[in-house]
Structure 1
Amino acid sequence: MGTADVVVVGAGIVGLAHAVEAAERGMSVVVVEQDERATGASVRNFGHGCFTAQDGTAYRYARKARETWLKVAAVAGLAVAESGSVVVARAEDELAVLKEFTDIRPAVTLTAAEVAHRVPTGPDVVGGAFLPQDIRVDQRTSADLIARWLARQGVVFHWRTTAHLITPGEVVTSRGSLSAPRIVLATGHDVDRHFPGLADDLGVRRCALRMLRVDNPSTRDITPAVLSGHSLLRYDAFALCPTLTEVRARIEREHADLVRIGLNLMYTQRPDGSLTIGDTHTYHRTLDPFEDNELDRHVLSETARFLGVPSLAVREHWRGVYASAPQPYLVASPADGVRVAAVTSGIGMTTAFGLAPDVLDTF
């Protein structure tokens, strides 16, 4: 099949980020993808660049990724909106966290009236915060547009091609062999298909999400991503706020069932006006194919209450899956010239463009 400076296995956003970075460095790049387009976590998400709420290495990656998203958008035809995020507080302790948060991140507090001016809300809002550095992308088209742009730059894509064997200097695929001194495996949770011992040692599991697309019950355009008090428990930077312990204790006491399913109550608007809502989090090495409707019922009822409407009309529902592990990133070298790269914290869209330069620097 040929040779290249870099072979990337996986054409989701993590694989594409490595292809973008390698091409930027003047390397020849081949991407191998088992499907005819990206169909995994890269398209089954909120399209939310949640940069502001990251911490540590993830925050460093997020800031780099923001620059790259805007740069790639300008040349690849992506619709990237520098829309920010609105975090809605429905309790005084949540508002206290957000006031503390403005001291550590680029964010401004909002009154209840200012929140209602920016996004539709229910009647129980006490205030909120605006995170201006966050962005929105169309999650269902971005990966495809990036791949098409990369192909125009000379990156070679082998779609509907399975990587059977990865060894130093070679990827044996269902269409033949590729030779490269640098190989990046970016298959997310499927790392255990290639290196099961590595996945076991690093505690890699599959995180399953329940998400839905619903009709927008209001007639308003909703540009920013919209987060709730439940989101404060999901993003690391909020843990820097001392009063988060009070929020966590209250939510765990009042909403134990929602904590049990890992609810991150938030939504974003699709280009057609509908809303992507969710999501829940459950963790397994192998996912059960049979799912209880309880998860969807929780997401629907809580989102309806969040929006202040009696019910929501469902257009689609799906399960997203991403790799999860105790550490937020998996970067490993199971063989000479081979790197495994995965975002194991559910923030691939937000940080992959920041991760890729560090991974390529290890070769």
Structure 2
Amino acid sequence: MKTSAPQVAIVGAGIVGLAHAWAAARAGCRVTVFERSDKARGASVRNFGMCWPIGQASEHFETALRSRELWQEFTAATGAYARATGSVHVVAHEDEAAVLEEFVMAMKGTPYQVSMLTPARVESDVPGVRRGVARAGMLSGSEINLDPREALALLPPFLKERHGVEFRWKTAVCHVGEGVLRTASGESHAFDEAYVCSGHDFETLFPEVFAASPLKPCKLQMMRTVPQPGGWKLGPMLASGLTLRQYSSFHGCPSLAAVKARVAREMPELDRYGIHVMASQDRFGSIVLGDSHEYGGDIEIFDKMEIDELMLRELRKLFDFPDWRIAERWHGIYAKHFGDVEFRADVLPGVQIATGTSGSGMTMSFGLADRHFSTRIAPV
């Protein structure tokens, strides 16, 4: 009988990889994380910083709430930036208001913490909303505002100090076989289980699996304003009616078809670039704005000013911040799974690919990894 702790190798130190490292360590494993860069530089640090359970369909909502619990545990232990702000969807059209009403009614008696807001309540209770435009709002109490850059910087030392997780930075893994992986420097490392959590880049290690998978790379563009003056606070994180098209939680609402048809008819440019607009605030007081979605062969290495201008156009229709000056612009690329909340593939005995959280990595990774290790490896 094997009595020593299982050796677990994690390839990739983005949020999915770190979530698996934490869950494996809590399950009693000895964990080593291999990361080709000196720190996380990919999609995990290029997002809104939203733990966003409201976007998840009911079958995944409990997993999102488990992620929320783990974020709260981590931020309490490290002092990382976290605000339990909740969120408000602000809508300017009757068809969008109908979707919100249908959703709130359907969620009665479920774990979703949602309620309708009148236009007057939106204007009185939600900073950053333009006066006179809201037809309705929906308040959700489950969302947490995080700073992804800070969180991804603090997670590795937290895992090392609290759980003994080892990190091999600037170490590119060039081969993963059964029970052993090899790095670009020629070193070999033995393992009992390995998890390839390198986003869409797992194509490098397992190109045939990527080619046969339902995944496509997705590029998003985002912006960040200068810090808002005088300590101005955004309050709850904000989403517009366009966001109803994006998240699976709203897909069962009968009125959503009318919203999609109107946007396609009146603003086809938004569908062309997958634009829906949201806003969160970082720990320095800047407002993070976005985003867009371009897939597969439509992705270009150069960012499009047209996309930024369209996002700002739609943001300004609903929101009104003290200072709109843009301090940063960037893009990120992640693996999009069009059929599920994640992609897992057992590619060899003891080797699994884990990716495809589809832009919901901050929301789902902790919960998904926790669920996986609670069933795969018993604590020792």
Query: Do they fold alike, i.e. is TM over 0.5?
Result: yes
1:137 matched residue in structure 2: 146
2:126 matched residue in structure 1: 118
What are the residue-to-residue correspondences of 1:1-363 with 2, within 5 Å?
5-103=7-105, 104=107, 105-116=112-123, 117-122=125-130, 123-153=132-162, 154-175=164-185, 176-215=187-226, 220-284=232-296, 287-308=299-320, 312-328=324-340, 329-360=342-373, 361-362=375-376
Report if aligned partners of 1:47, 1:139 keep a CA contact under 8 Å in 2.
yes
How far did residue 327 of structure 1 move? 2.4
User: Cα distance 1:167–1:57, how it changes in 2: closer, same or farther (>3 A)?
Assistant: farther
User: Cα distance 1:357–1:11, how it changes in 2: closer, same or farther (>3 A)?
Assistant: same
- C-alpha distance in 2, partners of 1:118/1:163? 47
- C-alpha distance in 1, partners of 2:242/2:227? 21
How far did residue 88 of structure 1 move? 0.3
Tell me whether 109-118 or 41-50 shows the greater mean CA deviation.
Answer: 109-118
Secondary structure at 1:42's aligned position in 2?
Answer: helix
User: Cα distance 1:196–1:184, how it changes in 2: closer, same or farther (>3 A)?
Assistant: same
AA matched with 2:197: A
Report if aligned partners of 1:301, 1:311 keep a CA contact under 8 Å in 2.
no
How far did residue 350 of structure 1 move? 0.5
AA matched with 1:131: S
- C-alpha distance in 1, partners of 2:86/2:322? 28
Tell me whether 40-49 or 324-333 shows the greater mean CA deviation.
Answer: 324-333
Secondary structure at 1:83's aligned position in 2?
Answer: coil
Report if aligned partners of 1:4, 1:30 keep a CA contact under 8 Å in 2.
no
Secondary structure at 1:352's aligned position in 2?
Answer: helix
AA matched with 1:357: D
Report if aligned partners of 1:171, 1:178 keep a CA contact under 8 Å in 2.
yes
User: Cα distance 1:310–1:8, how it changes in 2: closer, same or farther (>3 A)?
Assistant: closer
Report if aligned partners of 1:210, 1:320 keep a CA contact under 8 Å in 2.
yes
Tell me whether 231-240 or 288-297 shows the greater mean CA deviation.
Answer: 288-297
Tell me whether 308-317 or 352-361 shows the greater mean CA deviation.
Answer: 308-317
AA matched with 1:156: E
How far did residue 58 of structure 1 move? 3.2
Report if aligned partners of 1:4, 1:179 keep a CA contact under 8 Å in 2.
no
- C-alpha distance in 2, partners of 1:357/1:308? 39
Report if aligned partners of 1:206, 1:283 keep a CA contact under 8 Å in 2.
yes
State the Cα RMSD in Å. 2.0
Secondary structure at 2:223's aligned position in 1?
Answer: strand
Runs of 5+ unmatched residues, structure 2:
none
| Length-normalised TM-score, structure 2 | 0.90
AA matched with 1:58: H
- C-alpha distance in 2, partners of 1:161/1:308? 45
How far did residue 57 of structure 1 move? 4.4
- CA offsets, 1:46-103, max 9 Å, x none? 0111102211543232122112111222223322221100110111221121122222
How far did residue 192 of structure 1 move? 0.7
- C-alpha distance in 2, partners of 1:57/1:173? 39
- C-alpha distance in 1, partners of 2:206/2:304? 31
- CA offsets, 1:116-171, max 9 Å, x none? 22221123111201100111111111011111100112110011110010001111
| Length-normalised TM-score, structure 1 | 0.94
Sequence identity, in percent?
A: 34
- C-alpha distance in 2, partners of 1:77/1:177? 37
- C-alpha distance in 2, partners of 1:286/1:239? 25
Tell me whether 251-260 or 43-52 shows the greater mean CA deviation.
Answer: 251-260
User: Cα distance 1:308–1:70, how it changes in 2: closer, same or farther (>3 A)?
Assistant: closer
- C-alpha distance in 1, partners of 2:299/2:259? 31
- C-alpha distance in 1, partners of 2:306/2:250? 28
- C-alpha distance in 1, partners of 2:209/2:371? 20
User: Cα distance 1:9–1:286, how it changes in 2: closer, same or farther (>3 A)?
Assistant: farther
